[in-house]
């Protein structure tokens, strides 16, 4: 038995488990209450064969969404645990800005079922943060999620495969071209990791997938280094039209 498991009853006695979203009492330190679990939106089928974008009922299996038809993606698929709504946003903010690193195992646990095909032959690569942001925050939330996904799947974790050499401001409010220009040259493969990536199957991990500008920059860097396949995995994906649809 691990030390953490041995001390769990004492921790629960001193700090009774509570839902991180609403504060309701729960049975374990790493979970949500039933009501908050039900507030999470899990993307399902039918979905775009290229990016996993949920479709309305009646769309045939193997269909491709309009955005992917208009601009075929460089990645080889997107695996999103949840759609971005109030509940998932609170979890992301608590992890990223509230220093609730203890949420990472639960969030990674929701991501892992979407990665059932991953085994020891895959590489887990987190989206990198610039060193200034890591110094300020103290950790990279994508790396924390990737660490727990690697433990659950047996895949190899390459936490430093990518580097963010240029500090970029928040991309919120910027258009597609402005985001791409802002990220130009910002993300590169570390020279010492290039050999590992040649021909590799990679899971690129991030907490939130918004416009895809950052993940696209990462995918491009990985593909230039020779990665054979890159699938983007995120805890929450911003798809407002999917939340508003049937």
Instruction: Assign 58 to helix, strand or coil.
Output: coil
In a 10 Å sphere around its CB, with 0-12 CB exposed, 13-18 middle and 19+ buried, how is residue 179 labelled? buried
* Domain co-membership, 58 together with 73: yes
* Domain co-membership, 106 together with 161: yes
CATH number, domain of 170, equals: 3.40.50
Domain span at residue 31 reads 1-39
Residue ranges of the chain whose pLDDT lies below 70: 1-16, 27-30, 167-182, 184, 244-246
* Domain co-membership, 181 together with 99: yes
* Domain co-membership, 236 together with 137: yes
pLDDT of residue 13: 39
Measured distance CA(20)–CA(74) in Å, rounded? 36
* Domain co-membership, 179 together with 94: yes
* Cα distances (angstroms) measured from residue 206 to each of 60, 107, 126, 215: 29, 11, 6, 8
Phi and psi, residue 24, nearest 5°: -65, 145
In a 10 Å sphere around its CB, with 0-12 CB exposed, 13-18 middle and 19+ buried, how is residue 218 labelled? buried
DSSP 128-189: P--HHHHHHHSS-HHHHHHHHHHHHH-PEE-TTSEEE-S-----TT--HHHHHHHHTTTEEE
pLDDT of residue 137: 87
* Domain co-membership, 26 together with 128: no
Token couple for 193:
């990791």
* Domain co-membership, 136 together with 227: yes
* Domain co-membership, 29 together with 59: no
* Domain co-membership, 210 together with 100: yes
* Domain co-membership, 44 together with 27: no
Domain count within the chain: 2
* Cα distances (angstroms) measured from residue 50 to each of 67, 144, 203, 231: 10, 27, 15, 10
Strand order across the beta sheet in which 156-157 lies: 78-83, 229-237, 201-209, 122-126, 156-157
pLDDT of residue 172: 57
* Domain co-membership, 22 together with 57: no
């Amino acid at each position: 038995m691990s030390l953490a498991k041995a001390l769990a009853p004492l921790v629960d006695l001193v700090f009774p488990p509570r839902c991180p979203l609403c504060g309701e009492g729960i049975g374990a330190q790493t979970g949500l209450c039933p009501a908050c679990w039900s507030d999470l939106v899990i993307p399902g089928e039918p979905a775009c064969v290229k990016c996993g974008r949920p479709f309305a009922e009646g769309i045939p299996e193997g269909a491709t969404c309009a955005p992917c038809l208009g601009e075929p993606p460089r990645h080889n698929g997107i695996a999103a645990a949840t759609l971005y709504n109030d509940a998932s946003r609170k979890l992301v903010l608590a992890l990223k800005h509230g220093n609730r690193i203890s949420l990472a195992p639960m969030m990674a646990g929701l991501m892992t079922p979407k990665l059932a095909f991953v085994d020891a032959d895959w590489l887990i690569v987190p989206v990198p943060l610039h060193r200034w942001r890591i110094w300020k925050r103290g950790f990279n939330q994508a790396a924390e999620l990737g660490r727990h996904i690697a433990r659950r799947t047996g895949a190899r974790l390459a936490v430093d495969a990518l580097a963010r050499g240029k500090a970029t401001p928040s991309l919120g409010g910027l258009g597609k071209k402005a985001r791409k220009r802002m990220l130009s040259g910002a993300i590169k493969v570390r020279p010492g990791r290039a050999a590992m990536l040649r021909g590799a199957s990679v899971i690129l991990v991030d907490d939130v997938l918004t416009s895809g500008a950052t993940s696209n920059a990462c995918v491009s860097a990985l593909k230039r280094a020779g990665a054979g396949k890159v699938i983007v995995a995120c805890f929450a994906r911003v798809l407002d039209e999917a939340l508003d649809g049937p």
